[in-house]
Amino acid sequence: MLTGNVTEFLDPVFSSGVTLASVSAQKAANLVIRHFKGEQVDWENEYMKFMQRGIDVFRTYVNTWYDGTLFSIFFAEERNEDIMNKICSVLAGYVWDESNPFVRNHEKNVRTLGKYMSKATIDK
């Protein structure tokens, strides 16, 4: 069982490592306890796929930071507070909150918003 940055190191700038270390350790410990109690544990679905969902969300934000997409969102002249709160929630580590459209459809929504904000800034 690998936990923390050993499973996936994304970027030294983002706090993703802290979130991944904490969540993966807690998730792994709970599954190990269940295993020692004799319960069946589906490691692939209950651990690996769960962690990969969060890692993939973080990866989108790391990549869009470096390609400038997040910059165009953060520093756009006209920002929507609700959207900014949802994005900040992701960056704070809520990468498994599927009620947030910037988690649920992270790649599409961040890229689309970035293109819109860039175009809105250029059109002014």
Chain segment 31-52, per-residue pLDDT in tens: 999 999 999 999 999 999 999 9
User: DSSP code of 57?
Assistant: H
With 0-12 CB in 10 A as exposed, 13-18 as middle and 19+ as buried, what is 113? buried
Confidence of residue 2 (pLDDT cuts 50, 70, 90): low
Domain boundaries, the chain: 10-123
Backbone angles phi, psi at 55, to 5 degrees: -60, -45
Sign, CA dihedral 99-60-58-83, equals: negative
| pLDDT over 70 (residue 7) | no
pLDDT in tens, 57-111: 999 999 999 999 999 999 888 889 999 999 999 998 999 999 999 999 999 999 9
For residue 73, count CB atoms less than 10 angstroms from its CB and return exposed for 0-12, middle for 13-18, buried for 19 or more.
buried
pLDDT, residue 1, reads 64
